[in-house]
Amino acid sequence: MSGSDPDDRALAARALAGQQSAYGALMQRHRDAVYRLARSHVGDSDEALDITQETFVAAFAALARYDGSRPFRVWIARIALNKCRDWARRRAVRRFFTFARPIDDALDIATLDATPEEAAHSNREIARINAAIASLPVTLKDVLLLRAIEGMNQAEAAQVLGVTEKAVETRLYRARAKLTEILRDWPPARV
């Protein structure tokens, strides 16, 4: 955010006053983080896009309840996590699939000098890690995503999750241990 950009509090106030461009600015500023959080949580790019959209619809409908003394990113992250949980409940009811596998076809993370085989291996390894993260219990997954993926500090993650900082620390330790265990037990991606 550059020095001339209005802060989130000012954008929220302008959006509440009916200024459509302020809504757009808030969404543009936070959509990538919300998408990453949703994508990491549900393990599916298309579903993550839907959840991102639902998050912003819900956030803008509830914008009057946003407390400007707190960071907007914490507030929107909490809404996103709630939308991810809603998705998980709906998915459990529908149960079309036995396991949510990430769709990484659109994720181009290969380096320019990587061979096609190396790029394919890298994509398979990322899919394996994303599937392992998606399989974590929600309480561990949420902390891991907020701290490791979104880079929130312990206090921000605690605020989003409504728990103490010590609980964040403990859950993060357990999440990393469980993820290590899962990845050790799952076969590695083949080269």
| Residues 6+ away with beta carbon under 8 Å from 142 | 41, 81, 160, 161, 171
Q: Could you tell me how far CA 54 lies from the centroid of its own chain?
A: 13
Number of helices and strands in the chain (H, E): 8, 0
Predicted confidence at residue 168, as pLDDT, reads 93
Place of tokens 């959080």: 37
3-state secondary structure of 108: coil
Q: How far apart are CA 81 and CA 117, in angstroms?
A: 36
Task: State the pTM of this model.
Answer: 0.60
Q: How far apart are CA 22 and CA 53, in angstroms?
A: 17
Predicted confidence at residue 105, as pLDDT, reads 41
- Domain boundaries defined on the chain: 1-100, 105-191
Contact present, 55 and 79 (Cβ < 8 Å): yes
Q: How far apart are CA 69 and CA 12, in angstroms?
A: 12
Predicted confidence at residue 188, as pLDDT, reads 63
Predicted confidence at residue 101, as pLDDT, reads 41
Predicted confidence at residue 126, as pLDDT, reads 72
Predicted confidence at residue 189, as pLDDT, reads 55
Predicted confidence at residue 95, as pLDDT, reads 46
**Exposed (0-12), middle (13-18) or buried (19+): which is 67, by Cβ within 10 Å?**
exposed
CATH class of the 1-100 domain in this structure? mainly alpha
Backbone angles phi, psi at 17, to 5 degrees: -80, 0
Provide the CATH number for the domain formed by 105-191 in this structure: 1.10.10.10
Would you state the structure tokens that stand for residue 102, as one six-digit string?
């990430």
Taking only the tens of pLDDT, the chain with its 191 residues reads 333 345 999 999 999 898 889 999 999 999 999 999 998 888 888 889 999 999 999 999 899 999 888 889 999 999 999 898 888 777 655 543 334 344 444 344 444 455 566 656 566 777 777 788 888 898 898 998 888 777 888 999 999 899 999 999 999 889 888 888 888 887 665 54
Predicted confidence at residue 94, as pLDDT, reads 52
Q: Do the domains 1-100 and 105-191 sit in the same CATH topology, yes or no?
A: no
H-state helical runs in 17-115: 20-42, 45-61, 72-94
In 10 A of CB 80, how many CB atoms? 29
